[in-house]
Amino acid sequence: MAQWHLDALERALTQRGWSSSVVVSPEYPLADGVWSLTRGPVSVTLEFGCFDGMGQPLPSAAASYGFALLGHPSRGLYFFKKSSPKWKPALQEFLDFLDTLEPDPGA
């Protein structure tokens, strides 16, 4: 994965009114592998998949191959190659899904 993936993701989220921050917590020991997204009363968490060849976690979202949207196991995004025609539609589909989320009534 390249830095441009994170830049494109953050830019697209900002354009849709989302703010992002790195989650620093003992629950998530990776340095920047978890992001919290908020837009108004809606809050979600992205957990980046970043593992080395031995299956050990790496300390960076920049090393990831994609992310999962916590609480929505079927939703996430794979970081396709820049030349892949799948990248932009996949990002758009993910952003469209975020737009459908309602505030968590239990929060």
Structural domain boundaries, residue 47: 3-99
Q: pLDDT tens digits, residue range 42-83?
A: 999 888 775 555 555 554 555 567 888 888 878 888 888 888
Query: In the chain, how many domains are there?
Result: 1
Residue 85 sits at φ, ψ, to 5 deg, of: -75, -5
Q: In this structure, is residue 106 part of a structural domain?
A: no
Q: What is the pLDDT of residue 50?
A: 58
pTM listed for this prediction: 0.76
CA nearest neighbour of 6 among 17, 20, 25, 16: 20
Q: Is 41 exposed, middle or buried (0-12, 13-18, 19+ CB in 10 A)?
A: exposed
Q: What is the pLDDT of residue 19?
A: 94
Q: In this structure, is residue 47 part of a structural domain?
A: yes
Q: In this structure, is residue 105 part of a structural domain?
A: no
% the chain with pLDDT above 70:
74
Q: pLDDT tens digits, residue range 6-53?
A: 889 999 999 999 998 877 666 655 556 788 899 999 999 888 775 555
